[in-house]
Structure 1
Amino acid sequence: MKIDKEIFREMVNFYGEAFHLPPLAAKIYAYLIFDFERKGISFDEFVEIFSASKSSVSSSLNLLLNLNIIKDFNKIDERKRFFVMNEKYMKIRFEEIIEKMERELLLLENLKKFRDTDCEVALQKFETYTNLFKKNITNIKDTLDQL
């Protein structure tokens, strides 16, 4: 499999931070992104590629599987498990973002009711903030529908 080392390093850093992944799990995920044909990478290949212990690779793969970031499968003629990115993960991720934004929007509405102010500046800022949430929620939902 052909990978670009600089892009790989950037992806490891980005996904490690974005998904709060330990370094080896971030490396595994970034590596799987380069599997454009989705043939899958076996456990043994990960051990060899990253010169990591079997227990470290196993822990990282289990973490990624539990987070639904990757999937595993078996080929008919082999006992080995192969791992690929979960194509549906981005949709899952953005659905979680929508849920969090909707929860925060509800909290803000409740806070507005509790505060009960007539201050135009405060009300305008609140309206601007809630409109930003609503527009982003709608935009993400519309985009997900297209996927």
Structure 2
Amino acid sequence: MPDEPLLDDPVTMRILTELRRDSRIPNATLAERVGLSASSCWRRVRALEESGAIRRYTVALDDAVLGDGFKAIVHVNLVRHDAAMVQDFIRMTRITPAVRAAYATTGAADYHLHVTCRDLAAYNRFLDDHLLSLPAVKGAQTFLVLKTIKEEDGPG
């Protein structure tokens, strides 16, 4: 692999594009699509994995098919940023399946959560049982997702 940054290499970018589209693509097919021999392609993918550029392979879930038709972006503010309270909040986001992504941010909210649930009743249970029951949480503002425009790990 060249010493230049990974994203400056057009072949590497084509490899990453194909793997993002289908991480289960056979190496021979991937090599053909990006114009490399199978062994050269395998070495590049292996180098991307070893460098950490490819952290893991995953599956894209279709929330609607799975019955999770309710999506929201939730802005969360904490009362205090005491280390133990923040860790409790972070732990909740990591172990609660309804929380698909969580970001610490600058601006008016301390955290932004991407939450999916079956319906409004399930979302209310998430609020009561998980989010608002935490002593660190001062409040949450919910923004309903009306339509998904782009989602990297979603259906293609």
If the length of structure 2 is used for normalisation, what is the TM-score?
A: 0.31
More helix by share: 1
More strand by share: 2
